[in-house]
Structure 1
Amino acid sequence: MTSLTTGTRQRAARVGGADRILGAREVTDFIAEQLAGIDADGLSVCVLVPDATRNCPLPLLVGAVHRALHGRASRLTVLIALGTHGAMSDDALAEHLGYRGRDLAEVYPGTTVRNHEWWKPQTFADLGTIPSARIEELSEGRMSGDVEVLLNRAVVDHDIALVVGPVLPHEVVGMSGGNKYFFPGVAGQKIIDVSHWLGALITSAEIIGTTEVTPVRALINDGAALIPARTYALCVVTAETPEEDDGIPADSDRSTALHSVSFGDCVSSWESAAEISAATHVTYLDAPVRRVLSLVPAMYGEIWTGAKGFYKVEPVVADGGEVILYAPHIREIATSHPEIHEIGYHCRDYFVEQWDAFQHIHWGVLAHSTHLRGAGTYDPATGEERLRVDVTLATGIPEETCRALNLGYRDPATIDVAEFTADPGTLVVPRAGEVLFRLR
C-alpha cells in the first residue's frame, strides 16, 4: 500500500498500481481497513456510485462498503449519480449492484437504493452561491454571473457522503471521479450548465486527460466545499484485460479487475487515482491516423453517452480525417435532451459567434454538441462552418436524422471490422469510450 503526501501531510491511502491487477480479497481487505478508521458509528452514510455508463465492479465495491459499515452506520443510502442521464429501472439497479434475482434487503440489509431524480425540483437542497467574481477568475474572463449550488438533498440529509467510482480521462473536467460525483453527478442544472460550458469554451482537446486541477475541476471543488456532510472517496482505476490474459489473480475475474483503489478525502483520493489512470487509460501513438473506427460498447445506450467514442480518439485523427462511431444498438440521440435536435452538432465558435440565438439552450447541451463535433471555425459573415474532422454515425439512427444534425451517416451493415483492422490508415478501437488516445 502506498501513501501519497502533500508536503509532510499524509493524503490518500492506496493499494495497487499501474503495473498490477488486484485480487478481490486485496480490494475488500483494503476497503474494510480504511472504513474501519473513520468515525461512522451511529451516523448516516450516503454512498454515491456511477450509473451503468461507467465500467466498474460495483457489486464488489459496494458489497465491501456495506460489510464495513452495516451495523455501525444508523442508515445507508446508495445514490446513483446520474448527472442528467436517464433513470435506471429496478431491474437495472439490481443488475448494477449485484442483487439480481434476490431482494435488496437480503444482499444489502438496512440499505436504500435511489436514483438521482434530477427532473424533480424537490430533489435539491440549496447550498449557497459561487459568486460571479470567482466564475470570472476560473474562466479567465470567458464567463460571469453568480452560480447557485443545488445538490441532491439525500447528500445533505446524511452525516457522511462516500463517493465510490472510477477515475477516467474526461472531456469536461480532465479526469473524472472524486467531487465530480457531486457536481454534476447529483447536482442542479445551473452548475451543470456552467461547468460543462466552461469546459467547452476551453475545449475538450485542451482539457481531456489533464491530471492537474483544471478550471472546471476547481469549480466543482468550490461547490463541494459547501457540502455540510463529511465527504470521503474510494476512487478506483479499472483494468482493461484481453480475453487471453492470464495475469488476473485467482480470486478475481475480468468483471472485477482493478489496478488500484485509493481512499481519503475527495481531492486526495482523486489525485491518487488520476495518477494511475493517466498511466493505464492513455494510449500514445507516434503519428496521426486518417480514420478511426470506434466500437461503442453496449453500456452506452444513446449518442449522449456513446459520443465518448469520439472524444477519446479525436486527438489522434489527422486534419480532414474521420471518426466512425459503430454502434448498431444505439437508436436514440439523447432521450433526456431533445434540445439537441433543435441545434444539431457544431463546433464551439458556431455557438459563440451566434450567442444571442443559442444562449437560451441548456449550456450542457451546447457543450455536448461541441464535444462531438470537435475543433472547427465559424465565419458569421458568410455563415460557413469548417470542421477539423468528419463524424459519421454507423448506428440504428436513421440517415435523415444524422444529416439533419450535421453528422455523417453510414449503414452499420456495411461495416466489416476485420477489413477496417487490416487498413493501415485506420485505428480500430474496441470498447471505445474510456481509454484516451494521444499523440506523443
Structure 2
Amino acid sequence: MKIDVPYGKDSTMSATISDDIKVSFLEANDVTIDDEDENIKEAIKNPINSKSFKEFLSDAKKVLVIVNDATRPTPTKKILEFIFDDLKQTNFNFIIATGAHRGPSQEEYLQIFGSFYEEIKDRIIVHDARVKEDMVFLGQSTNGTQMYVNKAGVEADKIIIISSVEPHYFAGYTGGRKSFLPGIAGYETIEQNHKLALAPEAKALALEGNPVHEDMIDAIKTVKQEIFSIMTVLDKNHKIYATCCGHINDSFHAAIEFANEVFAAPLEKKADIVVSIVKFPQDIDLYQAQKGIDNAKLALKEDGIMILVAKCRCGIGGKAFADLLGSSDTPKAALETIEKGYVLGYHKAAKMAEIGLWAQMWGVTDVEPKIISKLFIKPFSDLQTAIDQALEEKGRDASVLFLMDGGLIVPLVK
C-alpha cells in the first residue's frame, strides 16, 4: 500500500507499507459543503443576538477589525469580500492578533488579506505583546490574571472579529474570546493565562471547568465596546462548512457545534504507532505543529510510537520551550523545572514532556536533527524510514494509524 500525505503547502511525502500490516486512517468527518458565498452572506444577514452588520456600523466612529495571523487557516480574505464595501465607509483599522507570535512576513500578509492587502496595508496594526507602552490595563480575572490588551482595542468604539473555530489542545477551542486573549493581550497577561494550561482540565473540546477558557471569558467581560463576531468552521479541505455571526459568545458557541461535527473523530481503539500529519499553515514551526503531537496522544497506546509529520517551515518557533527541553536530560527533569517556575512556552514543553514519560516521539520535519533530537523527538528525514523503523521495533503485528490532520482532529476512543 502506497500512502501519500501532505508535507508543506504544495508538496507530499509518501511511504509504502506491506498489505499484511494493520493500517487505518482517521480523518476529519465528512460534511456537506453548500455554496460558501451563500453560507457567509446568510450568516452576516442573520446574526445571532445582534444588530445587523449595517446597523452595527451605522454610528461607528472608529472601527477595529481583529484578524488571525498566518498560523490559522481562517479565510479572512474571503470574509472581506462580503463586508469590505460597508467597512470602507467607516474609519477603520485592522489588527493582526499575533498573541505572542511574531508578525507576518510579506508572503503571509498576502496569505491573510489576499487582494485587499494593497488597499489596506497602511491601516494594518501588527500586535506586539512585548511593547508595554501599547498596552492598557482592563482589570484582573477571577484566576488572578492581570488583563492588559492593545490600546487599539480600547480606542475603537466598534470591534469586528474574524476568526475560525477548531478544537484547541488546551483552550478547548480556538475562536471567539481567543482573539482578545491571547490575540491582542500583553505578554505578561498571555504568560499568566497560558500557565493555566498546565491544569488537567485544560484540554481539547473542554470549556466547563477549563481555567484557560474561563480566563479568556473574563477578558471579554472587560471589553465595553460593541462587537460583531464572524466565526467560520472549515472542513478537512479548508472549505467553509459553517459561518456564525453576531454576539461574540453566542456565535462562538454556535460554531462549536459545527466544529465538533467536523473534528471530533470517533475511533474504535488506540494504535501502537500513530502517524500525525500537520497540514499547512499549522506546520509553520514546531511550536505550532506540537498540536499534532498532543492530539495524537489520544489515539496512541502506552509505550507506543508517535510519528509527527510536519515541515516546520520556520524551524522550532518558541525559544523558551525548546531551551527548557534542550537543557533537560529527561522528560521528568523538564517537568520538575516547570514546577519551580513558569515561563511562557513552558506549557508546550510540559505537554510534550508528559507524553515522553509513556511513549516515544519521532519527527519527520525540516528541523535540523541535532536541534530536534534535544527535544525528546527522534529525527527522520523521510516518512518511509520512520515507518520501517517503527514497525521493526513494534513488530509486524503492530497497528498503524494515520491521523490525517493531526493539528485539528481530536480522536475520541469509543
CA separation in 1, counterparts of 2:298 and 2:329?
17
CA separation in 2, counterparts of 1:417 and 1:68?
53
Instruction: Tell me which residue corresponds to 1:279.
Output: 261
Instruction: Tell me which residue corresponds to 2:346.
Output: 366
- Cα deviation for residue 397 of structure 1 reads 2.2
Identity among equivalent positions (%) equals 18
CA separation in 2, counterparts of 1:346 and 1:183?
33
- Cα deviation for residue 399 of structure 1 reads 2.8
> In 2 relative to 1, CA 431–354 (structure 1 residues): closer, same or farther, beyond 3 Å?
closer
> In 2 relative to 1, CA 423–35 (structure 1 residues): closer, same or farther, beyond 3 Å?
farther
Instruction: Tell me which residue corresponds to 2:224.
Output: 228
> In 2 relative to 1, CA 42–328 (structure 1 residues): closer, same or farther, beyond 3 Å?
closer
Instruction: Tell me which residue corresponds to 1:402.
Output: 372
- Match of residue 363, structure 2, among 393, 407, 411: 393
- Cα deviation for residue 43 of structure 1 reads 2.5
Note the 1:34-433 alignment, pairs <5 A.
Answer: 34-71=52-89, 73=90, 75-99=91-115, 104-105=118-119, 112-130=123-141, 134-135=142-143, 146-202=144-200, 207-210=203-206, 212=208, 214-241=210-237, 257-299=239-281, 300-330=283-313, 332-334=315-317, 336-338=318-320, 340-344=322-326, 353-354=336-337, 358-359=340-341, 361-362=342-343, 364-375=344-355, 387-412=357-382, 414-415=384-385, 425-433=399-407
> In 2 relative to 1, CA 317–30 (structure 1 residues): closer, same or farther, beyond 3 Å?
same
> In 2 relative to 1, CA 436–346 (structure 1 residues): closer, same or farther, beyond 3 Å?
farther
Instruction: Tell me which residue corresponds to 2:8.
Output: none
Q: Of the two structures, which has the highest relative contact order with CA contacts closer than 8 Å and spacing of 6 or more?
A: 2
CA separation in 1, counterparts of 2:338 and 2:389?
43
- Cα deviation for residue 63 of structure 1 reads 2.5
One-letter code of the match for 2:193? Answer: S
1:267 is paired with a residue of what secondary structure?
helix
1:261 is paired with a residue of what secondary structure?
strand
> In 2 relative to 1, CA 418–410 (structure 1 residues): closer, same or farther, beyond 3 Å?
closer
1:129-178 CA-to-partner distances (Å, cap 9, x unmatched) read 23xxx32xxxxxxxxxx421110111111111221111111112111110
CA separation in 2, counterparts of 1:413 and 1:318?
20
1:250-277 CA-to-partner distances (Å, cap 9, x unmatched) read xxxxx6x211111122111111111111
One-letter code of the match for 1:95? Answer: Q
Q: Which moved more, 1:277-286 or 1:60-69?
A: 60-69
- For normalisation by structure 1, the TM-score amounts to 0.76
> How many aligned residue pairs are there?
374
> In 2 relative to 1, CA 26–148 (structure 1 residues): closer, same or farther, beyond 3 Å?
same
- Cα deviation for residue 372 of structure 1 reads 2.6
CA separation in 2, counterparts of 1:320 and 1:416?
16
CA separation in 2, counterparts of 1:64 and 1:420?
49
User: Any gaps of 5 or more consecutive residues in structure 1?
Assistant: 1-17, 136-145, 242-254, 377-386
Q: Which moved more, 1:87-96 or 1:43-52?
A: 87-96
> In 2 relative to 1, CA 351–232 (structure 1 residues): closer, same or farther, beyond 3 Å?
farther
CA separation in 1, counterparts of 2:363 and 2:60?
52
One-letter code of the match for 2:285? Answer: E
**1:35 and 1:69 in contact (8 A); partners too:** no
User: Any gaps of 5 or more consecutive residues in structure 2?
Assistant: 1-29, 46-51
1:22-69 CA-to-partner distances (Å, cap 9, x unmatched) read 423313422552412425433222111111211122211123222233
One-letter code of the match for 1:261? Answer: T
CA separation in 2, counterparts of 1:180 and 1:407?
29
CA separation in 1, counterparts of 2:34 and 2:334?
46
Instruction: Tell me which residue corresponds to 1:381.
Output: none
- For normalisation by structure 2, the TM-score amounts to 0.81
Instruction: Tell me which residue corresponds to 2:412.
Output: 438
CA separation in 2, counterparts of 1:346 and 1:54?
33
- Cα deviation for residue 330 of structure 1 reads 3.9
One-letter code of the match for 2:198? Answer: A
2:123 is paired with a residue of what secondary structure?
strand
- Cα deviation for residue 333 of structure 1 reads 1.3
One-letter code of the match for 1:316? Answer: A
**2:40 and 2:243 in contact (8 A); partners too:** no
CA separation in 1, counterparts of 2:246 and 2:359?
41
CA separation in 2, counterparts of 1:66 and 1:50?
17
- Cα deviation for residue 438 of structure 1 reads 1.9
**1:211 and 1:275 in contact (8 A); partners too:** no
**1:346 and 1:370 in contact (8 A); partners too:** no
- Cα deviation for residue 424 of structure 1 reads 6.8
Q: Which moved more, 1:341-350 or 1:163-172?
A: 341-350
2:319 is paired with a residue of what secondary structure?
coil
RMSD between aligned alpha carbons? 3.1
CA separation in 2, counterparts of 1:175 and 1:331?
25
**2:338 and 2:346 in contact (8 A); partners too:** no
**1:420 and 1:428 in contact (8 A); partners too:** no
More helix by share: 2
**1:394 and 1:410 in contact (8 A); partners too:** yes
